Amino acid sequence: MTQHDADKADPQALGNEEAAAEIDRLSAEIDRHGRLYYVENRPEISDASYDTLFRRLQALEAAHPALARPDSPTQRVGADPRDSLPSLEHAVPMLSLDSAHDLDAVRRFDERLRKALGDEQIRYVIEPKLDGASLELVYVDGVLDRAVTRGNGRVGEGVTENARTIPSVPLRLRDDEIAAPAFLSVRGEALMYLNDFESLNQRRIEADEQPYQNPRNATSGALRQLDSRITAQRPLTVLAYDVLAVEGAEFDTDSEGLAALKAWGFVTPERIEVVESVDEIAEYHRAFGADRDSLNYEIDGVVVKLDALAPRRRLGSTSHHPRWAIAFKFEPRKEVTRIDRIFVSVGRTGVLTPVALLRPVEVGGVTVSRASLHNREELERKDVREGDRVRVQRAGDVIPQVVERVDEEGRERRPAFTMPEACPSCGTAPVEKGPFTVCPNHFACGAQLKGRITHFGSRSALDIEGLGGETAALLVDEGLVKDLADLFDLTEEDLVPLEGFAEVSARNLVQGIEERSRVELARFLVGLGIPEVGVTVARDLALHFRGIAELRAGAPDDLEAVHGVGPKMSTAITAFLQQPRVSEALDRLLAKGFELSVPEAPADDAPDDWAGKRVVLTGSLEGYTRSELKKVLQGLGARVTGSVSARTDLLVAGANAGSKLAKARELGVEVLTEDELLERIEGAEAP
């Protein structure tokens, strides 16, 4: 049988061997034409010919389902809907970037790196900062294994079926230039090109559907669809720009990794360059900014990354961002409109924020109708009032804000706006904390409670499915929940009569809440919404105190023994926990019978010489990173703190030690060099 005859043969009549051979051939051919069309923009066949090949492959797989492969091109059409998106941990944390808004900040970043790296030659990879949705793509033995949204940077939502439908996402890595590695984690940005976004909105308008507000929101929504067949209908593209982790391949530079991504079949951002000076970065930023309005995709700046990977590893990261990269942002777009009214919004933490209701104006492709006026002092400084003509921008091209008032000669202005004497939500008298006006009724104020319930059930906290913003507002408005503890008294009978609930959804929510009475201590701390306490700090507090009662009893000095907790943060945490209203609300919540799991305790056989000692590390260390040395000391029973006080037992001073060393000497605290410390540790560990 000739190849032509085989292509016409009834799929049902083919044996497995013949069908497998044709499936392999068609898959490779369709992949090639898809890459030519979507990635290289040089198609060789018509759409009709492509569709013929695709339908033939579908027919073969339908007739021989056991031969269908996970990397088959037919996977791009989508699969049956899911009930929910799973939570998946990233291979390595997906951190955000520190940002610079002027060239001086970029120069300071460059100076810090040059000082830290000494005589090493520094080169930077510079690329556009894409304004889409971050996505991790993981490949095992060259085949797409999973796709995960950024989420909180450590855990995101599994959107693998949706990612399979995106034409620019390789289902199998190409290996004709570079062998596919055994394991590969790639960070990319999912986005919609502006012409595709406009076409999508036009189709929605013609179908009498609400158009999407902007490409970023449309992209994020498409990625998180429960029905991947809907995602397949959205014009998504993924541009890959970072190798997060790899096993089976080695690179010395980021630019080598980018070249490998292209060889493996990914689309990478355009106009990536390698430069050596801040002046070259400035020129790249200027040129991209000048072209910004003519681009077919949204960007809000450029990314500057150290090219060499070994120095990156030495520089490391904070809990939020790498020290070897920075985002050089563009000046936000600005437009002029008028303030119709000013009202006060009450947030989850009790802050009363003045908000301007604006006459709708388009700013950078997005219609803006309200903007934050930030706080009492900012409102007084800008002196904007109802009826004023104002200049508006989107900070970081996202958050609308009023920049300044535009003078109108001869126009009589209305009276200055003043903050209310009572919380608009609960009537409690607010208090002033610096420039902020705050309602102190934290867990009983209706507006705060809605936000706290939503935060309590969020993915990084107790992760209660179905407890989102709309449900939280409904529970509070209906009087079913007056504080967090009431969540654990809800019954199916309470929920079924409410709008949007049926027996199944009511049962699922009640069960979901009940199951979360057993939860990790760190998640519980995140859920409480304690000031200054995010995921990283909550984990460190849980490791240190090992119980909620111990944390509540801690004084500011006790909290400062936790890595990364300084005087300001420790005072804010203890002040919050010791407020009578907060303490009462927490007592009611804990009375519901929480089982808060904690990590394993440190070894009980820590040498007495180190047990309980307060140690501060400062300056640049040589043999250890600071986090490594901290772990060693904690393993010996010591408490590593962030600041020097009269209670400090020992200061370890590396190179370029500064004010902490001076303060230690002033207080008479014992000071050791890194070598002296290591000698003492070896002595403590000796039998």
**Domain ranges (residues) in the chain:** 3-77, 99-329, 334-405, 446-516, 521-597, 614-685
SS3 content of the chain, % helix, strand, coil (to 5): 40, 20, 40
Asked whether 162 and 223 are in contact (CB, 8 A), the reply is yes
* Cα–Cα distance measured from residue 288 to residue 299, given in angstroms and rounded to the nearest whole number: 9
Q: Is 396 left (phi over 0), alpha (psi -120 to 50) or beta?
A: left
User: Would you give the distance in Å from CA 217 to the centre of its chain?
Assistant: 15
Enumerate residues 6+ apart whose C-beta is below 8 A from 189.
130, 132, 133, 134, 135, 238, 239, 241
Residues of the chain with pLDDT under 50: 1-6, 397, 602-608, 685-687
Q: Is 274 helix (H, G, I), strand (E, B) or coil?
A: strand
pLDDT at 471: 92
Radius of gyration of the chain (CA): 29
Please name which of 188, 92, 179 lies closest in space to residue 141, comparing C-alpha atoms: 179
Asked whether 32 and 45 are in contact (CB, 8 A), the reply is no
CB atoms near residue 436 (< 10 Å): 19
* Cα–Cα distance measured from residue 632 to residue 640, given in angstroms and rounded to the nearest whole number: 10
Token pair of 388 as six digits: 């004023």
* Cα–Cα distance measured from residue 327 to residue 97, given in angstroms and rounded to the nearest whole number: 6
Assigned superfamily of 334-405 = Nucleic acid-binding proteins (2.40.50.140)
Domain 446-516 and domain 521-597, same fold? Reply is yes
Enumerate residues 6+ apart whose C-beta is below 8 A from 201.
211, 212
Asked whether 142 and 132 are in contact (CB, 8 A), the reply is no
Strand partners, 345: 353
Token pair of 130 as six digits: 């894409």
* Cα–Cα distance measured from residue 554 to residue 548, given in angstroms and rounded to the nearest whole number: 10
Asked whether 239 and 152 are in contact (CB, 8 A), the reply is no
Asked whether 128 and 271 are in contact (CB, 8 A), the reply is yes
CB atoms near residue 204 (< 10 Å): 14
* Cα–Cα distance measured from residue 565 to residue 68, given in angstroms and rounded to the nearest whole number: 54
- The highest-level CATH class for domain 614-685 is alpha beta
Q: Where are the beta strands (DSSP E) in 472-547?
A: 518-520
Please name which of 474, 141, 383, 124 lies closest in space to residue 273, comparing C-alpha atoms: 124
Q: Return the CATH number of 521-597, one of 1.10.150.20, 1.10.3720.10, 2.40.30.170, 1.10.10.10.
A: 1.10.150.20
Token pair of 74 as six digits: 């037919």
* Cα–Cα distance measured from residue 551 to residue 559, given in angstroms and rounded to the nearest whole number: 8
* Cα–Cα distance measured from residue 505 to residue 486, given in angstroms and rounded to the nearest whole number: 18
- Specify the CATH architecture of the domain 446-516: Orthogonal Bundle (1.10)
Q: Is 597 left (phi over 0), alpha (psi -120 to 50) or beta?
A: beta
Please name which of 636, 672, 638 lies closest in space to residue 653, comparing C-alpha atoms: 672
Q: Is 407 left (phi over 0), alpha (psi -120 to 50) or beta?
A: beta
* Cα–Cα distance measured from residue 108 to residue 117, given in angstroms and rounded to the nearest whole number: 14
Does the annotation count 115 as an active-site position? Answer: no
Q: Is 70 helix (H, G, I), strand (E, B) or coil?
A: coil
Angle at 220 between CA 269 and CA 202, to 5 degrees: 90
- The highest-level CATH class for domain 3-77 is mainly alpha
Task: Give percent of the chain above pLDDT 90.
Answer: 38
DSSP string, 567-601: HHHHHHHHHHHTSHHHHHHHHHHHTTT-EEE-PPP
Length of the chain: 687
pLDDT at 686: 40
Token pair of 159 as six digits: 């959107």
Please name which of 508, 444, 512, 498 lies closest in space to residue 470, comparing C-alpha atoms: 498
Token pair of 120 as six digits: 């090493």
Asked whether 575 and 533 are in contact (CB, 8 A), the reply is no
Token pair of 305 as six digits: 């990354």
Helix (H) or strand (E) holding 187: strand 183-191
Could you tell me where the DSSP H helices lie in 605-653? 626-635
pLDDT at 605: 44
Asked whether 157 and 85 are in contact (CB, 8 A), the reply is yes
Angle at 82 between CA 81 and CA 85, to 5 degrees: 135
Token pair of 442 as six digits: 């934290």
Q: Is 618 helix (H, G, I), strand (E, B) or coil?
A: strand
Tell me, what DSSP letter sits at residue 302? E
Enumerate residues 6+ apart whose C-beta is below 8 A from 202.
none
Token pair of 491 as six digits: 């019954």
Assigned superfamily of 99-329 = DNA ligase/mRNA capping enzyme (3.30.470.30)
Helix (H) or strand (E) holding 642: none
* Cα–Cα distance measured from residue 389 to residue 586, given in angstroms and rounded to the nearest whole number: 46
pLDDT at 261: 96
Question: Which of the following is catalytic: 8, 115, 129, 305?
Answer: 129
